[in-house]
């Protein structure tokens, strides 16, 4: 097979950057200076130029393009090349490449095929409409982000995963769900790595969060909404806390060490009570366990950016409890305090947090020694 012509490949690149090449909807011809085209092809001088000019002449004879002279009375002095979108198929056949129209059709076919995959009834129509919309966007050359603009294997893999996610039932850890859905325990974790950070820290959410939100009109925004969670939904706490289930009370204050309470138990409890005057949320788990050793009588809850289990506990504590947050004295530490206030609706005061303190880590305050910590007064 004859190697593709560099000058025709350069013309194809110019065409792909034009509106006609990107969308397939424009009818205007692509016009390019001969000198610019030869420069793109790397053949402006010597024998390479002579070959390129001959190839352009042959292409004109074959009806692929038109060479236009600088002056109508001097047809030998070619000034520019005119290429019509109607010759797209012939040009790309000549350079042995798939045309932009063919690539757009293949991409559209990926979305069309995905639209026929069965999903649960609540998402059946949203899924079909979303696939139709993405198919139309692919054909029109519009954005299909976060998908590739080509019909790649990555697109196929993601389109196979989305219906499985919409059909997921129950709560499971992300690595288990990833094994079941992807055959790889880390696949979902990688795709969703930024989603939970993005919710609180202002970063961009991952592909899956954006796609779920788009497909479901905001009803689902992350894997957590499907019950696929990075960690069990629980609160880690220490101190006087009792939960009533029917006529029975569970007294967690009898435990010397820290305890974990599942979100489902926190939600189904009829009542929560604490003998503590204050609840202290502690950012770092290492500091939390050091404080728990003191037996201060305060209710301690370990949390950075709060998960749903922690929020369930904080929201259900009696209204008269005072709230304080002991975190790092850096931007992230104060952002966690802001999020805690916003998510719980509680008046939470900073504890031993000083903006600009160096070092900012709460562990730098040293080991607590008094059972009255953190309230010496």
Q: Is residue 1 part of a domain?
A: no
Same domain, 239 and 359: yes
**Residue 370, pLDDT score:** 62
Domain that includes residue 45, residue range: 6-97
Q: Is residue 286 part of a domain?
A: yes
Domain boundary at 229, 256, 277, which? 229
Same domain, 130 and 213: yes
Inter-residue contact 8 to 91 (CB < 8 Å)? yes
The structure tokens 């000058």 sit at 7
Q: Is residue 370 part of a domain?
A: no
pLDDT at position 99 over 70: yes
**Residue 340, pLDDT score:** 97
Same domain, 190 and 294: no
Q: What average pLDDT does the chain have? A: 90
CA-nearest of 203, 142, 120 to 19 is 142
Domains in the chain, number: 3
172-194: string of b/e by CB count within 10 Å (b at 16+)? bebbebbbebbeeeebbbebbeb
Same domain, 90 and 120: no
Same domain, 167 and 183: yes
320-349: string of b/e by CB count within 10 Å (b at 16+)? eeebbbbbbbbeebbbbbebbeebbebebe
Its pTM surpasses 0.95: no
Same domain, 305 and 343: yes
Same domain, 161 and 64: no
Inter-residue contact 302 to 237 (CB < 8 Å)? yes
225-280: per-residue pLDDT in tens?
A: 998 987 778 999 999 999 999 999 999 999 999 999 999 999 999 999 999 999 99
**Residue 199, pLDDT score:** 39
29-77: per-residue pLDDT in tens?
A: 999 999 999 999 999 999 999 999 999 999 999 999 999 998 877 777 8
pLDDT at position 184 over 90: no
Same domain, 14 and 108: no
**Residue 201, pLDDT score:** 32
100-125: per-residue pLDDT in tens?
A: 999 999 999 999 999 999 999 999 99
| Residue 12: exposure state from Cβ atoms within 10 A (0-12, 13-18, ≥19) | buried
pLDDT at position 194 over 70: no
Q: Is residue 375 part of a domain?
A: no
pLDDT at position 334 over 70: yes
**DSSP states of 87-123 as a string?**
GHHHHHHHTT---HHHHHHHHHHHHHHHHTS---HHH
3-state class (DSSP) for residue 161: helix
Q: Is residue 158 part of a domain?
A: yes
Q: Is residue 298 part of a domain?
A: yes
Q: Is residue 29 part of a domain?
A: yes
126-148: per-residue pLDDT in tens?
A: 999 999 999 999 999 999 999 99
pLDDT at position 171 over 90: no
Same domain, 243 and 356: yes
């Amino acid at each position: 097979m004859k190697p593709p012509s560099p000058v025709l490949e350069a013309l194809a690149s110019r065409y792909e950057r034009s509106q006609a090449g990107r969308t397939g909807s424009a009818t205007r011809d692509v016009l390019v200076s001969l000198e610019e085209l030869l420069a793109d092809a790397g053949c402006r001088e010597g024998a390479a130029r002579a070959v390129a000019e001959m190839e352009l002449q042959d292409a004109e004879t074959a009806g692929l393009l038109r060479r236009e002279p600088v002056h109508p009375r001097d047809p030998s002095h070619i000034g520019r090349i005119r290429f019509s979108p109607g010759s797209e198929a012939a040009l790309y056949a000549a350079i042995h490449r798939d045309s932009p129209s063919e690539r757009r059709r293949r991409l559209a076919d990926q979305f069309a095929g995905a639209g026929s995959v069965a999903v649960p009834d609540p998402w059946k129509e949203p899924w079909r409409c979303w696939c139709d919309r993405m198919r139309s966007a692919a054909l029109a050359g519009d954005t299909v982000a976060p998908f590739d603009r080509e019909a790649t294997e990555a697109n196929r893999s993601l389109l196979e995963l989305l219906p499985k996610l919409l059909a997921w039932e129950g709560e499971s850890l992300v690595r288990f769900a990833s094994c079941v859905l992807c055959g790889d325990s880390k696949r979902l974790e990688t795709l969703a790595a930024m989603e939970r950070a993005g919710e609180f820290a202002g970063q961009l959410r991952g592909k899956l969060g954006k796609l779920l939100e788009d497909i479901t009109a905001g009803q689902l925004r992350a894997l957590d909404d499907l019950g696929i969670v990075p960690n069990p939904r629980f609160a880690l706490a220490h101190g006087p806390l009792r939960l009533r289930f029917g006529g029975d009370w569970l007294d967690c204050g009898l435990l010397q060490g820290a305890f974990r309470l599942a979100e489902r138990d926190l939600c189904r409890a009829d009542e929560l009570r604490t003998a503590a005057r204050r609840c202290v949320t502690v950012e770092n788990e290492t500091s939390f366990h050091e404080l728990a050793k003191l037996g201060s009588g305060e209710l301690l809850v370990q949390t950075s950016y709060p998960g749903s289990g922690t929020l369930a506990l904080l929201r259900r504590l009696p209204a008269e409890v005072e709230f304080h947050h002991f975190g790092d004295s850096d931007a992230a530490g104060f952002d966690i305090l802001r999020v805690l206030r916003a998510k719980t609706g509680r008046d939470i005061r900073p504890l031993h947090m000083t903006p600009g303190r160096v070092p900012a880590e709460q562990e730098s305050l040293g080991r607590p020694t008094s059972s009255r910590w953190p309230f010496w007064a």
